[in-house]
Amino acid sequence: MPSGDDEFESADDVIRRIFGDGESSLGAQMASTAERSKALDAKPVPRPARTRFIAVANQKGGVGKTTSTVNIAAALAKAGSHVLVIDMDPQGNASTALGIPHGSGQPSVYDVIEGRSGIADIMVQCPDFPTLHVVPSSIDLSGAELELADMQNRNTVLKQALQTFLSQSGTHYDYVFFDCAPSLGLLVLNALCAAHEVFIPIQAEYYALEGLGQLVHTIGLAQSTLNRNLIISTILITMYDRRTLLSKEVYDEVKRHYPALVLNTTIPRSVRISEAPSFNQTVIAYDPHGAGAVAYREAALEMAERSASVLQQIEDTRNEG
């Protein structure tokens, strides 16, 4: 029996003792996650000097685009930033994950596109995070493409509505995220015109590399014709499996091509990440100390710490134009 002077084992020590201490053991992974979570709790997340307008885009589906949007946004809000998420995907998956009702006929970004409502009229607070606000989407938005096509200002409807809202809002938003559909229609072009930077999540597989090249080319076209101040600021590798060589090779290849853009953080494959939306939550709220939540919090911290350089790059691009 331990004497009164002996120290109790920490939770991390108990995990290591029970599950093993090898680098690849379950115990080491659990202990590592717990230590990383505690380190994040102790580290302040800097807020940007100016609002960052970020379109989260990838023409390829199933790469973790919406998952990354809502979890990065939630992680930043958890750390104290004021965040606005605009769901520009008719599927409304971002709205689901953030706990916002978005059935057909309910107020949504479709009403903003149509000019019936302003952003302030339909914006809703995320139930899990007081400083995270959401402009929800609904299936009604799928009809907006045809209606936008006949408008003279069809590419800048969202930008104008957002500018009006921000000029009248009593809240200063540190981040505005646009969750884009996996396509390149007028809705995505509206997001790219309203954004200052593009965040690209890509899956750790070889097909993703081909899609990334096409996406960078497409964004380049948008830069040259619609928004000369747009930059690609961030690439995040998702669904990373540390047990496979393939994931590491894909990460290394993307890092080789875009060294300044790729985050050091990778997002692991995780059942918790996948099941959180079925409870109308982000993984940040659903499993806050799990590996998925910790990874997204690390990615959010890394993005926040890059804010000064990203904002300077945007400013330099604007001055060059």
> 233: which 2 tokens?
């600021």
Residue 137: per-residue pLDDT: 96
Q: Where in the chain is the domain with CATH 3.40.50.300?
A: 48-320
Query: 29 by DSSP, 3-state: which?
Result: helix
Question: Residue 19's pLDDT is what?
Answer: 44
The structure tokens 């990373």 sit at 240
Q: What does CATH list as the number for 48-320?
A: 3.40.50.300
What CA–CA distance (Å, rounded) separates 228 from 40?
36
DSSP-derived letter for residue 157 is H
Of the chain, the end-to-end C-alpha distance in Å amounts to 73
Pick from 304, 316, 307: nearest CA to 77: 304
Alpha-carbon distances, residue 161 vs 196, 241, 267, 297 (angstroms): 16, 41, 33, 30
- pTM metric for this prediction: 0.89
Q: What is the pLDDT along the chain (321 residues), one digit of tens a residue?
A: 444 545 565 555 544 544 444 444 444 565 688 899 999 999 999 999 999 999 999 888 788 899 999 999 999 999 999 999 999 999 999 999 999 999 888 899 999 999 999 999 999 999 999 999 999 999 989 888 888 888 888 899 999 999 999 999 999 999 999 999 888 788 999 999 999 999 999 998 888 777 788 888 888 888 888 899 999 999 999 999 988 899 999 999 999 989 999 999 999 999 999 999 999 999 999 999 999 999 999 999 999 999 999 999 999 998 886
- C-alpha–C-alpha distance, residues 235 and 216, integer Å: 11
C-alpha 189/C-alpha 154 separation (Å) is 9
Contact 24, 147 (CB under 8 A): no
85 close to 69: Cβ distance less than 8 angstroms: yes
CB-CB neighbours of 179 under 10 Å = 31
Q: Cα(255)–Cα(199) distance, rounded to whole angstroms?
A: 15
Listed residue (317, 147, 145) closest to 227, CA to CA: 317
